[in-house]
């Protein structure tokens, strides 16, 4: 195979001595519930193939389409391989190469000057470009703690649902994913596992083959919805109404596990009273689905109680990106307790398993480096507004410097018009650590080349299974790229930080992730270690809530002046409420991208084609739109162009703007987030990407089909 000449094969001494010469075990770093175990084949210091590890049961030797092409991403001709300094106007993406030494000393002196005025004017911005515990918030967090920089509230994905689960079940805890294979009823709720949780889908298919009933709850007829026995295409943001109506039916037919309710739940009389206000007819009108579908689902769920069969819910974050997302997650989290589904190992609910990992955050992040300071917190979901704010007593200092790693906010954060305006500020000093020149990187003052997963150490928790994984480097860093940890280590030296924790190696950090709670030798030997957890964690209650019970009523929420019970909280932008913007838009993940990662990998972008808007035929016909038409999607916040597809995947009144394209690779230099808002969720201060009203207008008709 021919490789770009600038890739110098690694000298043998650069590789850790305990690596096998041919195959190296690693972990997929991406923000995906599956956290696969990888096997990378290396020849002469070059990675030639990345495969799924057949010895890891959850991976089963299979990777998704994206990561099976990992070498294409790693050796991409546009990989950033040397530090760059801006030469053109802000945002122009024009850079010249500089040495690491020049870049780090200039960055350090700029940050030192800002910190002398107020360190809170410096803001870190990161998310889950890598989910690694070490290349994520370890050395970086130490650096920002020592500096006294603003803290970042990492809300962009999961905080509404996470908070809903924490209030109800006590944390991000739930069923073990493998036991879905034994369930008799599987409700896939706000999730498209064929696209985004492939290895869960393997277990679900096993159950389906064994006769389980499958129901999908999703406004979009996704690849997954198509494969289920029933698809409930509710309006976005109406899930709590549906869940409350299911409770109503369970109560009125007495499909209730009274013993479980009495011994292991808190607030049942109050929840019962709330649910009785939600007859299925009321929910059907809110969700705009046939009332029969709600009754039938309640019957299926109730029959599992009657017949002592396990019923399982796979909930995903797709349903909590609306104003009432936290309440909706709470309502769904209550359901298993009503029928005592938790008694079975194949019953209950799973949103995320991440709360089950014993990560020693303090050992990684060293909060004591704050030395008693309590910096303000910036919410990453409102970075657009926050970059445009002046200093004020409420807000604190104007943001003067932003250090971005593991994230592409210009593409992924809501209301990108404002985000771009903020990043374009001439008086903002921006450093971006990246693999590629993303939309965000275009706005950097310094662009620093980071290593990929094939080039560095890391340890991974998962959020869709309960195995910890170790990632060993398979190849030496390409070009002058450095791990995030190393960049922050060297930056610390240039800032004059002498604390000994800045000299911890990546291997030391890997060992610190779980301390003695996970056997590190097992990780070294096998690449993964299964957490020792009970099969049916809540069969006898024992929820990690303050009361030890499933908390239908949350005293903690009530104490904050919030509703102690889950309820339906309507969207900020309720479908049907605006004549100007009559359509609701959701923007779920595209199957061949991972958020905005992989958009620049040509073979994957070719499969996705162009930015796409799926429309129901009624909505399209009313606007003279056909498949292939170029349309303008717009609202009060902005507009973007896409190719329309008249599609059975869209329900009437809802359009699906598939995510998340790089702006500069789109049709008009914008993407779907040009339209999304910076409103927040009811719990967790999360973003509301799927709570967004728009209108669509034909720009150019579809080309006539060519005669064959
Ligand atoms: N291929 C691929 N895989 C991914 C990702 C990706 O971008 N691409 N993203 C990763 C990330 S960051 C995450 S957080 C995870 C989980 O990511 P999720 O965002 O949960 O993604 P999906 O599993 O695709 O499921 C979302 C589904 O929710 C539906 N939905 C939208 N609004 C509503 C609503 O109001 N109610 C209900 N019931 N459904 C709604 C959408 O139509 C979509 O089918 O997946 C990860 N995996
Ligand atoms: N409209 C709309 N917007 C959304 C969503 C949606 O469904 N609809 N989903 C939201 C969700 S769920 C999420 S999680 C966010 C995701 O948002 P982000 O976490 O920002 O995810 P990515 O867009 O994949 O960007 C991650 C970047 O990190 C870089 N990276 C990867 N590994 C490393 C590394 O080791 N070092 C460094 N320095 N960089 C690295 C990658 O090259 C990539 O450019 O987007 C959110 N935005
Ligand atoms: S993105 Fe998900 S499915 Fe694909 S290899 Fe990574 S963990 Fe596995
Ligand atoms: Mo996410």
pLDDT digits (tens, 9 = 90+) for 276-331: 999 999 999 999 999 999 999 999 999 999 999 999 999 999 999 999 999 999 99
Question: What residue ranges in 414-504 does DSSP mark as E strands?
Answer: 429-434, 446-449, 458-460, 467-471
Digit-coded pLDDT (tens) for 446-505: 999 999 999 999 999 999 999 999 999 999 999 999 999 999 999 999 999 999 999 999
Could you tell me the CA-to-CA distances from 463 to 452, 524, 539 in Å, in that order? 21, 21, 21
C-beta separation of 450 from 483 below 8 A:
yes
* Ligand 2 binding pocket includes 434 (Cβ within 6 Å): yes
Q: Residue 98 above 50 pLDDT? A: yes
C-beta separation of 325 from 164 below 8 A:
yes
Q: What is the mean pLDDT of residues 91-118?
A: 98
How far apart (Å, rounded) are the C-alpha atoms in residues 90 and 494?
Answer: 25
* Ligand 2 binding pocket includes 129 (Cβ within 6 Å): yes
How far apart (Å, rounded) are the C-alpha atoms in residues 600 and 490?
Answer: 29
* Ligand 2 binding pocket includes 408 (Cβ within 6 Å): yes
The CA R_g of the chain, rounded to the nearest whole Å, is 25
pLDDT value, residue 32: 97
Q: In this structure, how many other beta carbons lie within 10 angstroms of the beta carbon of residue 456?
A: 26
Q: How far is the CA of 337 from the centre of ligand 3 (A)?
A: 32
Digit-coded pLDDT (tens) for 667-687: 999 999 999 999 999 999 999
Residue 367 CB burial class (10 angstroms; 0-12, 13-18, ≥19): exposed
Q: How far is the CA of 677 from the centre of ligand 4 (A)?
A: 17
The residues, any chain, with a CB within 8 Å of residue 527's CB and separated by 6 or more, are: 25, 26, 27, 37, 53, 55, 56, 469, 470, 472
* CATH 3.40.50.740 is held by the domain 84-157+375-464+476-518: yes
pLDDT value, residue 658: 95
How far apart (Å, rounded) are the C-alpha atoms in residues 499 and 67?
Answer: 38
C-beta separation of 365 from 142 below 8 A:
yes
What architecture (CATH level 2) is domain 583-700?
Answer: Beta Barrel (2.40)
C-beta separation of 371 from 144 below 8 A:
no
Beta bridge partners of 189: 217, 315
What are the pocket residues of ligand 1 if the criterion is a CB atom closer than 6 Å to any ligand atom? 31-32, 157, 189-192, 195-197, 217-220, 222, 236-237, 239, 316-319, 322, 586, 588-589, 591, 593-595, 690
> Which ligand is in closest contact with the Cα of 321?
1
pLDDT value, residue 700: 82
Q: What is the mean pLDDT of residues 148-170?
A: 98
Q: Residue 16 above 50 pLDDT? A: no
C-beta separation of 688 from 321 below 8 A:
yes
Digit-coded pLDDT (tens) for 602-619: 999 999 999 999 999 999
Q: How far is the CA of 399 from the centre of ligand 1 (A)?
A: 32
Atom of ligand 1 nearest to the CA of 660: 7
pLDDT tier at 708 (50, 70, 90 boundaries)?
Answer: low
Task: Return residue ranges of the chain for CATH 3.40.50.740.
Answer: 84-157+375-464+476-518
The residues, any chain, with a CB within 8 Å of residue 643's CB and separated by 6 or more, are: 609, 610, 611, 612, 613, 628, 629, 630, 631, 667
pLDDT value, residue 312: 98
How far apart (Å, rounded) are the C-alpha atoms in residues 579 and 577?
Answer: 7
DSSP state of 522: H
Q: Please measure the distance between the N-terminal and C-terminal CA atoms of the chain and give it in whole angstroms.
A: 38
Task: Return residue ranges of the chain for CATH 2.40.40.20.
Answer: 583-700
* CATH 3.40.228.10 is held by the domain 161-351: yes
Q: Residue 533 above 50 pLDDT? A: yes
Could you tell me the CA-to-CA distances from 279 to 190, 247, 310, 500 in Å, in that order? 22, 9, 25, 62
In a mutational test of the pocket of ligand 3, which residue from 25, 26, 27, 28 has the highest number of ligand atoms less than 8 Å from its CB? 28
The residues, any chain, with a CB within 8 Å of residue 571's CB and separated by 6 or more, are: 236, 237, 322, 323, 324, 584, 688, 691
For atom 41 of ligand 2, the residue with the nearest CA is 129
In a mutational test of the pocket of ligand 1, which residue from 127, 190, 198, 325 has the highest number of ligand atoms less than 8 Å from its CB? 190
Q: In this structure, how many other beta carbons lie within 10 angstroms of the beta carbon of residue 668?
A: 15
How far apart (Å, rounded) are the C-alpha atoms in residues 266 and 330?
Answer: 13
> Which ligand is in closest contact with the Cα of 447?
2
pLDDT tier at 18 (50, 70, 90 boundaries)?
Answer: very low
pLDDT value, residue 174: 98
Digit-coded pLDDT (tens) for 356-407: 999 999 999 999 999 999 999 999 999 999 999 999 999 999 999 999 999 9
For atom 7 of ligand 3, the residue with the nearest CA is 35
The residues, any chain, with a CB within 8 Å of residue 511's CB and separated by 6 or more, are: 520
How far apart (Å, rounded) are the C-alpha atoms in residues 237 and 570?
Answer: 7
In a mutational test of the pocket of ligand 1, which residue from 588, 595, 673 has the highest number of ligand atoms less than 8 Å from its CB? 588
Atom of ligand 1 nearest to the CA of 592: 1
Atom of ligand 2 nearest to the CA of 597: 24
How far apart (Å, rounded) are the C-alpha atoms in residues 544 and 548?
Answer: 6
pLDDT tier at 703 (50, 70, 90 boundaries)?
Answer: confident
* Ligand 2 binding pocket includes 596 (Cβ within 6 Å): yes
> Which ligand is in closest contact with the Cα of 456?
2
- Average pLDDT in the chain: 95
Beta bridge partners of 313: 187, 349
> Which ligand is in closest contact with the Cα of 604?
1
pLDDT tier at 15 (50, 70, 90 boundaries)?
Answer: very low
* Ligand 2 binding pocket includes 191 (Cβ within 6 Å): no
Digit-coded pLDDT (tens) for 577-600: 999 999 999 999 999 999 999 999
How far apart (Å, rounded) are the C-alpha atoms in residues 675 and 673?
Answer: 5
| Interstrand relation of 612-615 and 654-657 (parallel, antiparallel or unpaired) | antiparallel
In a mutational test of the pocket of ligand 3, which residue from 29, 30, 193 has the highest number of ligand atoms less than 8 Å from its CB? 30
* Ligand 2 binding pocket includes 217 (Cβ within 6 Å): no
How far apart (Å, rounded) are the C-alpha atoms in residues 588 and 218?
Answer: 11
Closest C-alpha to 71, from 453, 479, 481, 469: 453
Q: Residue 269 above 70 pLDDT? A: yes
**Residue 60 Ramachandran class (φ > 0 left, ψ -120 to 50 alpha, else beta):** left
The residues, any chain, with a CB within 8 Å of residue 641's CB and separated by 6 or more, are: 611, 630, 631, 632, 633, 666, 667, 668, 670, 699
In a mutational test of the pocket of ligand 3, which residue from 66, 192, 465 has the highest number of ligand atoms less than 8 Å from its CB? 66
pLDDT tier at 19 (50, 70, 90 boundaries)?
Answer: very low
Q: Residue 702 above 90 pLDDT? A: no
Q: What angle do CA 216, 617, 241 make, to 5 degrees?
A: 35
Q: In this structure, how many other beta carbons lie within 10 angstroms of the beta carbon of residue 330?
A: 31
Atom of ligand 2 nearest to the CA of 318: 7
Question: What residue ranges in 208-254 does DSSP mark as E strands?
Answer: 213-217, 230-232
Q: How far is the CA of 176 from the centre of ligand 1 (A)?
A: 20
How far apart (Å, rounded) are the C-alpha atoms in residues 124 and 647?
Answer: 41
Q: What is the mean pLDDT of residues 116-141?
A: 98
pLDDT value, residue 361: 98
For atom 6 of ligand 3, the residue with the nearest CA is 28
Atom of ligand 2 nearest to the CA of 411: 23
Q: How far is the CA of 36 from the centre of ligand 3 (A)?
A: 6
How far apart (Å, rounded) are the C-alpha atoms in residues 472 and 23?
Answer: 11
pLDDT tier at 706 (50, 70, 90 boundaries)?
Answer: low
C-beta separation of 610 from 667 below 8 A:
yes
pLDDT tier at 705 (50, 70, 90 boundaries)?
Answer: low
pLDDT value, residue 11: 35
pLDDT tier at 110 (50, 70, 90 boundaries)?
Answer: very high
Task: Return residue ranges of the chain for CATH 3.40.228.10.
Answer: 161-351
For atom 16 of ligand 1, the residue with the nearest CA is 317
How far apart (Å, rounded) are the C-alpha atoms in residues 224 and 194?
Answer: 6
pLDDT value, residue 79: 98
Closest C-alpha to 353, from 185, 154, 207, 169: 169
In a mutational test of the pocket of ligand 1, which residue from 589, 590, 593 has the highest number of ligand atoms less than 8 Å from its CB? 589
Q: Where are the alpha helices (DSSP H) in 496-655?
A: 506-512, 520-526, 555-559, 602-608, 617-621
Closest C-alpha to 15, from 401, 435, 455: 455
> Which ligand is in closest contact with the Cα of 597?
2
Q: How far is the CA of 277 from the centre of ligand 3 (A)?
A: 42
Torsion (CA) 18, 24, 25, 29 in degrees, nearest 10: 120
Helix/strand/coil for 706? coil
């Amino acid at each position: 195979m021919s490789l770009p000449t600038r890739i110098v094969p690694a000298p043998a001494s650069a590789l850790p001595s305990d690596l096998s010469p041919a195959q190296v075990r690693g972990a997929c770093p991406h923000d995906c519930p599956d956290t696969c175990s990888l096997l990378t084949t290396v020849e002469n210091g070059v990675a030639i193939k990345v495969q799924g590890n057949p010895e890891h049961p959850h991976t089963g030797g299979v990777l998704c389409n994206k990561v099976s092409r990992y070498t294409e991403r790693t050796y991409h001709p546009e990989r950033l391989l040397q530090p760059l300094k801006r030469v053109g106007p802000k945002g122009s993406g024009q850079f010249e190469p500089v040495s690491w030494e020049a870049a780090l000393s200039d960055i350090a002196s700029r940050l030192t000057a800002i910190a002398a005025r107020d360190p809170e004017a410096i803001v870190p911005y990161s998310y889950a470009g890598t989910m690694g515990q070490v290349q994520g918030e370890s050395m970086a967090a130490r650096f920002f703690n020592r500096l006294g920089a603003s803290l970042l509230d990492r809300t962009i994905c999961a905080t509404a649902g996470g908070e809903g689960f924490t209030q109800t079940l006590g944390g991000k805890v739930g069923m073990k994913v493998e036991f879905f294979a034994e369930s008799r009823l599987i409700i896939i709720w706000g999730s498209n596992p064929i696209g985004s949780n492939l290895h869960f889908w393997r277990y679900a298919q096993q159950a389906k083959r064994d006769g389980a009933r499958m129901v999908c709850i999703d406004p979009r007829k996704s690849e997954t919805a198509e494969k289920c026995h029933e698809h409930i295409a509710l309006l976005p943001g109406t899930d709590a109404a549906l869940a409350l109506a299911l409770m109503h039916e369970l109560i009125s037919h007495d499909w209730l596990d009274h013993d479980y309710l009495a011994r292991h739940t808190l607030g049942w009389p109050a929840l019962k009273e709330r649910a009785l206000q939600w007859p299925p007819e009321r929910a059907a009108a809110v969700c705009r689905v046939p009332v029969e579908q709600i009754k039938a689902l309640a019957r299926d769920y109730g029959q599992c109680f009657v017949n002592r069969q396990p019923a399982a819910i796979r909930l995903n974050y797709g349903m909590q990106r609306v104003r009432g997302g936290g309440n909706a997650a709470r309502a769904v989290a209550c359901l298993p307790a009503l029928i005592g589904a938790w008694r079975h190992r194949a019953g209950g609910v799973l949103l995320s398993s991440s709360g089950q990992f014993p990560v020693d955050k303090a050992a990684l992040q060293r909060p004591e480096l704050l030395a008693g300071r309590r910096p303000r917190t910036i919410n990453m979901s409102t970075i657009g507004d926050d970059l445009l704010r002046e200093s004020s007593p409420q807000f604190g200092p104007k943001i003067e410097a932003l250090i971005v790693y593991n994230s592409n906010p210009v593409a992924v954060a809501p209301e990108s018009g404002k985000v771009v305006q903020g990043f374009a500020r001439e008086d903002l000093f921006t450093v971006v650590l990246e693999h590629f020149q993303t939309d965000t990187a275009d706005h950097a003052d310094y662009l620093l080349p980071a290593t990929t997963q094939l080039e560095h150490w890391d340890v991974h928790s998962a959020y869709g299974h309960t195995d910890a994984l170790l990632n060993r480097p398979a190849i030496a860093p390409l070009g002058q790229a450095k791990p995030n940890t190393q960049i922050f280590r060297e930056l610390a030296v240039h800032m004059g930080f002498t604390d000994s924790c800045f000299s911890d190696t990546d291997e030391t950090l890997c060992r610190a992730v779980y301390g003695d709670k996970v056997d590190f030798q097992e990780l070294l030997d096998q690449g993964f270690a299964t957490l020792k957890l009970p099969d049916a964690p809540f069969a006898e209650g024992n929820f990690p809530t303050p009361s030890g019970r499933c908390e239908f009523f949350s005293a903690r929420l009530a104490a904050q002046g919030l509703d102690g019970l889950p309820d339906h909280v309507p969207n900020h932008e309720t479908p049907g409420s605006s004549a100007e913007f009559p359509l609701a838009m959701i923007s779920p993940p595209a199957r061949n991208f991972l958020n905005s990662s992989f958009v620049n990998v040509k073979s994957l972008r070719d499969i996705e084609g162009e930015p796409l808007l799926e429309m129901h035929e009624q909505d399209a016909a009313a606007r003279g739109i056909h498949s292939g038409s170029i349309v303008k999607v717009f609202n009060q916040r902005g507009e973007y162009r896409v190719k329309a597809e008249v599609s059975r995947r869209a329900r009437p009144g809802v359009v699906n703007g598939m995510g998340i394209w790089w702006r500069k690779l789109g049709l008009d230099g914008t993407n779907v987030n040009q339209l999304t808002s910076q409103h927040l969720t009811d719990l967790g201060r999360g973003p509301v990407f799927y709570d967004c009203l728009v209108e669509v207008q034909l720009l150019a008709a579809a080309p006539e089909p060519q005669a064959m």
